[in-house]
Every structure is written in structure tokens, then in C-alpha cells.
Amino acid sequence: MIPLDSAELIKARDLLRENDVVGLPTETVYGLAANIDSHEALKKIFSLKERPFFDPLIVHVASIKQAQELTTEWPPVADFLARWFWPGPLTLVLPKAASVDPLITSGLDTVAVRFPSHPVALEIIRLVGRPLAAPSANKFGKISPSTAAHVRAEFPDLLVIDGGNCEVGLESTVIDFKVTNEFTDVRILRPGGVTEEMIRTALDRWSQTTNVIQAESSASPGHVKHHYMPPIPLAIVDEDFSEESAVMISEDLRLKEFRQPIELMLPSDPAHAARIMYSEMRTASESGADMIYVRKTEAREGGLWAAIWDRLTRAASWDPDSGNRLGD
């Protein structure tokens, strides 16, 4: 862990109090943060990221109380899961308080809240004294950053606080709730650091019966089909893939001059794989190869693999089923 530099943290606090944005570490990925009370800084996030306004931001808090103040309903199931998983990589979508700027929520009547566990993120939220809206610190649709260097490469003019390599390495799990007198549903809008199995295990300890379901992809406005994309095309291929077949894929992808593919190899431990995945995608993109391939291995399913394959599928430019180029 990189030691906290208090002068840097004070500088971050001052910028965040003065309508500016700062790059900060969280345990999932680095974020591009703005004080939720600064409409000007919130606008800056969208322009820096080149992010469309239909994609709402996650608000980061340093206590459950602070999260409750941003919402008008705090159902018992949300309270239970917040107490179980926070601080940590779980984001709760709940009805928003009137005070939350509609720019954060893309005009929706809900707000996404998360209590991160990274000590630097928490310290900055406490210093500013207000929650911070922060998307991942990358240009819209591109690879998320898991080191301060990744953020600096994309946003050279930004103050980026270095909190080391992100421990989880991919984004938080986003969930919402449907609660009636008869049933309680927990819906997973985006798989992430807290797995479906972990949510089920937690809810087994809860007094009420709850269904955990996967949402239709349209339920999360920003979780679009093409996202996390490296600068060179990425293809998900069968386990027995040979590099000769890469030529065929390169034709499908209409690569002008095809030189060589590079394999994105991930370790068998999913926590380790998640931690290094985005860095490895960046390294592969800079290797001189003109295409990345990842072998889809059947043994790698469930748990954190769900979030890993979710990201890789969205990062892919080639569809193994149709052989078509994606993202046109």
C-alpha cells in the first residue's frame, strides 16, 4: 500500500471543493470524482469522459447514514445487504432524494450509491465532507483503469491520487430492489466484485425470503453492449483455437494489415484474473499485435467469472457465433 501523502489529499479536497474533478483510487477501479453539490464539476466529468448524459453516475459515501440521506426509501433488504457488504464493491440503486442533481441520475428517479472500502477514497470523502459522484476514470466505452498510471495516461491534466493497484480490479456489482407485501426481489443490473453467490449466501441469513434475479440488460442505462473496448480488436475464441484461425477472424474484422494475434492469458484463480484483467488488456494492446484473443474455458464459470466474462464479452469486437464484426 502506497503511504497516504497528506498534502496531496488536501489538494484533492480543495479541488473538489472548488468545482473541479480528481482521479481517485477505489478497491474496484479508479474513479473520476466530483462533489455531488457541484453542478459544474459534474458537467466536467461528462465532458472529460466524453460520456453521454443518459449514463448515470454512482455516488460514493463514507457511511450508511450518508447513503440514506441521498434516498427516499431504505428498504430492510437494502439495509441488510449494505450492512453485510459495505464498505465494499456493491452499489445499491434506490429512489433518489430531491436534493440529488438530475445530472448524476440522468433524470431517473433513482440514485446509485456505494460505500467503497479503499482508505484513500474514504479519506477524501471525509475531508470534503460530502458524497462524491464518480464513474470509472476512462473515456466512455474504453478499458477501465486499475492503476493511477492508467488514469494519468488518459487524463494527463488531472490530479490523480495514487492508491496502488486496485484490489478487486473490476467494477462493483450494481443491484436494485422490487419489494411488495408478498415478495422481495434483488435484481443484478451489472455483475461485479460481489458475486451472485455471495448475495445469495448473505440473504440465506436474512429472515425474509428473497429472490435474486438477473436484470434485462436495458435495466441499467449505462451498461451498454460495447464497453471496456481495447484499442485493438478482441475476440473470444474456443479452447482449441489455433493461431491460424486468427487469419480468418482478421478477415471478418477487416483488419488491413494482419501481422499477429496475441493471447490474453488469465490465471485460474478468478480473483487474481479480475485484478489483472484490465492491465493485461492494455499491455496486449501496446504489444504490437493487431488482435487480442481470449480462450473461453468451460471450467471458468460462476462466481467472479460471471463479471469477468461480462466485461470480456462487451470488450469483444468479434462474435464467435456469427463470425461477425461487432460494434459497427
Helix (H, G, I), strand (E, B) or coil at 46: helix
User: What angle is formed at CA 119 by the lines to CA 113 and CA 18, rounded to 5 degrees?
Assistant: 70
Residues facing residue 24 across a β-bridge: 31
CB of 95 to ligand TXA, least distance (A): 10
Maximum alpha-carbon separation in the chain: 61
Q: Please identify which residue in 222, 230, 261, 270 interacts with ligand TXA, judged by CB under 6 A.
A: 222
Provide the residue type at 216 as one letter.
E
Instruction: Please give the distance of CA 191 from its chain centroid, rounded to a whole number.
Output: 9
Q: Please identify which residue in 9, 28, 34, 186 interacts with ligand TXA, judged by CB under 6 A.
A: 28
CB of 76 to ligand TXA, least distance (A): 20
Helix (H, G, I), strand (E, B) or coil at 94: strand
Query: Please, are residues 146 and 89 in contact by the beta-carbon 8 Å criterion?
Result: no
Return the one option of Mg ion, ligand TXA, none that residue 79 interacts with (CB less than 5 to 8 A, by type).
none
210 contacts ligand TXA (rule: CB under 6 A): no
Site track 134-153 with ligand TXA (rule: CB under 6 A), x = hit: xxx-----------------
Return the one option of Mg ion, ligand TXA, none that residue 174 interacts with (CB less than 5 to 8 A, by type).
ligand TXA
Q: How many of the chain's residues bind Mg ion (CB under 5 A)?
A: 1
User: What angle is formed at CA 218 by the lines to CA 213 and CA 224, rounded to 5 degrees?
Assistant: 115
Cell 487469419 found at? 247
Query: Please, are residues 90 and 203 in contact by the beta-carbon 8 Å criterion?
Result: no
Query: Please, are residues 250 and 117 in contact by the beta-carbon 8 Å criterion?
Result: no
Cβ distance to ligand TXA smaller for residue 121 or 203: 121
Compute the distance between CA of residue 70 and CA of residue 66 in angstroms, rounded to an integer: 7
Cβ distance to ligand TXA smaller for residue 38 or 91: 91
Rule CB under 6 A: which of 46-105 touch ligand TXA?
55-58, 89, 91, 93, 105
Return the one option of ligand TXA, Mg ion, none that residue 105 interacts with (CB less than 5 to 8 A, by type).
ligand TXA
Rule CB under 5 A: which of 119-138 touch Mg ion?
136
Return the one option of Mg ion, ligand TXA, none that residue 31 interacts with (CB less than 5 to 8 A, by type).
ligand TXA
Q: Which of 259, 241, 238 shows the shortest CA–CA distance to 250?
A: 259
108 contacts ligand TXA (rule: CB under 6 A): yes
Binding site for Mg ion (CB under 5 A): 136
Binding site for ligand TXA (CB under 6 A): 26, 28-29, 31, 55-58, 89, 91, 93, 105, 108, 110-112, 114, 134-136, 171-172, 174, 189-190, 220-223
